[in-house]
Amino acid sequence: MNIEKTVIDNFCNLIKFDTTSDPYSSTYPSTNSQNEFAKILAKKCEDIGLEDVVIDENGYVLATLKATSNNTNLPKIGFIAHMDTSPDYCGKNIKPNLIENYDGKDIILKNIVLSPTEFPSLNNYIGKKLITTDGTTLLGGDDKAGIAEILTAFEYLKNNPQIEHGEIKLAFTPDEEVGQGVEYFNVKNFGCDFAYTIDGGGAGEINYENFNAADAIINIMGKNVHPGQATNIMINSAMIANELLSMLPDETPTNTKDYEGFYHLTDIKGNVEKTMLHFIIRAFDKKEFENKKQTIANIVDTLNKKYNNLLKLDLKDSYFNMYDILKDNMEIVEKAKRAITKTGLTPYIKPIRGGTDGARLSFMNLPCPNLFTGGHNCHGPYEYICVDSMVKAVEVIINIATDI
């Protein structure tokens, strides 16, 4: 089996399917397209020859590759990726653009230019094979690259039963991009001692720190009357929203980096009568996280006193920093380091300025660091992935499974 060809074929086939999740849906999964995609993945698992293939009642795809080693003391290891793509950008009609030998120059796509000047990571891949978007959609590498890499690794091991390994399992989850990826995941039924999400960035990357995360939805009620008769009567909810924004610290994703947290306004809809603001709040440090949530609450309280309780805050935690769990399970990080080193790469640790399913799973008694896929610039038309990195990701999964 040619790993490179298989992983490219898997990836380019998987991204044909629109699996955009919907943060405002009341269903789970949030979009029916993910249910349909789950059926395709389950069929692929069966074709590979995996066992215990199932789509459970919540849309999770699960499958097992039985152990080939006689050592019954080996841990059961899981590999996890998510099926949905981000609602931040179009995920329909994706047309991958394969560049056989990247020359280091600007890549001209429809309406945009993917330039190494703006995206210096491209300079690492001169002479390498890249897959980009056509400039009109995201690519879907987050996280169909992870799915493709897991499927390719499992197929390789299935086709080579002489290679000794313990029992390994895969899980493909819905709705990770809207913070609900493992909302109904049954860790006990999954039956693994630990797992890895395959949902990271550049080759060699390991993540075991991530943001603490919360969502804040603020609804503001105004009072709309004819503007010619509005004196001392009209209350413009959109103007109150503007006042609220002016009261926030200047800590946005644009102005922060590394371990710095932020407030991110992801959506705002409104008029005179009613305005809704949706924020995500992020911080690595738990105390900073609590302070940021309190800042939002204090601003709302201040404006409620001024405007007679016209604002309503719905504040909800999404996930927490998995380091709080993984600091006591570093042997599984060391296993990943060995697996990466064996491919010829140098492993490096990078905090995630975001989150993965593994963050929540770690707090559900399934320690779960995150490993690279090879992708860059996800959630938009500048997304690309290096094929050589995808091959290395496959090899890392194989190496982890066979590190006995």
Could you write out the three-class secondary structure of 87-104?
Answer: CCCCCCCCCCEEECCCCC
Prior bond to 29 cis, omega within 30?
A: yes
Q: What is the CA radius of gyration of the chain?
A: 23
Please state, in angstroms and as integers, the Cα–Cα distance from residue 94 to each residue in 12, 129, 139, 150, 177, following that order.
Answer: 9, 19, 6, 21, 18
CB 381 within 8 A of CB 107: no
The one catalytic residue among 18, 84, 199, 395: 84
In the numeric block, which tokens belong to residue 178? 């809207």
Give me the residue label for tokens 């705002």. Answer: 268
CB 38 within 8 A of CB 172: yes
CB 59 within 8 A of CB 169: no
Is position 134 annotated as part of the catalytic site? no
At 30, give phi and psi (nearest 5°). Answer: -75, -20
In the numeric block, which tokens belong to residue 77? 């290891």
Is position 260 annotated as part of the catalytic site? no
The one catalytic residue among 149, 175, 176, 205: 176
At 233, the amino acid letter reads I
Closest CA to 353 of 205, 239, 153: 205
CB 54 within 8 A of CB 67: no
Active site residues: 84, 176
